[in-house]
Structure formats: C-alpha cells, structure tokens
Copies of this chain bind each other. A is one copy, B any other.
Amino acid sequence: MKDFIDSIKARDLAARNAFQILLLYPGVQAYLWYKAANYLYKRGLRFLPEWIMYVVRSSLNIEIHPAAKIGKRLFIDHGTGLVIGATAVVGDDVTIYHGVTLGAVGKGAVPGAKRHPTVEDGVVIGAGAKILGDITLGKGCYVGANAVVRKDVPPGATAVGVPAVTKK
C-alpha cells in the first residue's frame, strides 16, 4: 500500500498525504474496491462483486467490471466517467484520466472472446480517450485527450487525435 500511495504523490501535484489520498481520491477508492470485487470474482462469485462495482459506480462514478485484470499501482485521476470492460487487461503503473473508456467495438463480438483492450505497463491515457476493441497499448505509450484508438499503439509511441482549429 505504501508504494501505491507514494506513486500517487509522484504523479499528482495536488496530492498531499496518505490520509487525504485515501479519503478524498475517488480513483484510489474505486481501485481498492475493484481489488476486493475482483478477488471475489476469481473465487467464482458473480452477483456480489458486480453489485459492489455497481455501488462504486453510483457513488464514485467510476465503472470497472470485476472481471477485468488490472495490475499494481493503477492511478485513476479524477475518474468521472471511466469505463473498463470485462475482458480488459491493464498492466502495472498505468495512469488513466477521467472519461476514458477501455471498451468493445460492439459488432461481431463472440461470447467468451477477448473484446476489450490490453494496456501494458506505464501507459498514460488522457482524459476522454476511447480505446476500443481487442488492441494493445504498448509499454509506456501515451494517448492524448479525447483520442479514439482502434489500432495497436507501439511501445513508447504517442497517439493523439486532431487538436482544435481556431477561426476568427
């Protein structure tokens, strides 16, 4: 737990101490509840972990399917509107901002097949980005705000959408 808290202080200038982080960071609370729900899910329970994450979504507005596989020290910053699907895989030391979706493409999904993204270690995903389908965001890559990503992103690369154009 201590290295998790320390990693957040290193990633957020507004973080002050462990007490404040545990009580006031919805993304930290959601991640810890996910850990509990995922533990129950792996032991074969279904409704209870789904209900836990439903309550988390209602109170913290962060939606993580209990079946998702998430590594260590995930930092969800702000978090509002985050959706992580059932077959998503997330590595260690990932940072995800609010409004991000790790989602499915919808068409042609096969029951049991992996339909959500894999996010490797150290990836940073900007606010509002939508990562869709069984694709891979490579180690340490960066995805810009509001980007729509439907293909693999190589390790260390940057994937961005089109910035706004200004007209007089």
Contact = CB atoms under 8 A, between A and B. Distances in A.
Interface in A151-168: 151, 153-154, 156-168
A65 B160 CA distance: 27
What is the copy number of this chain in the assembly? Answer: 3
The contact size tier of chain A is 35 or more
A148 interface: yes
Contacts of A129: 164
Contacts of A103: 97, 127, 145
Contacts of A47: 20, 24
A14 B51 contact: no
Contacts of A23: 51, 54
A90 interface: no
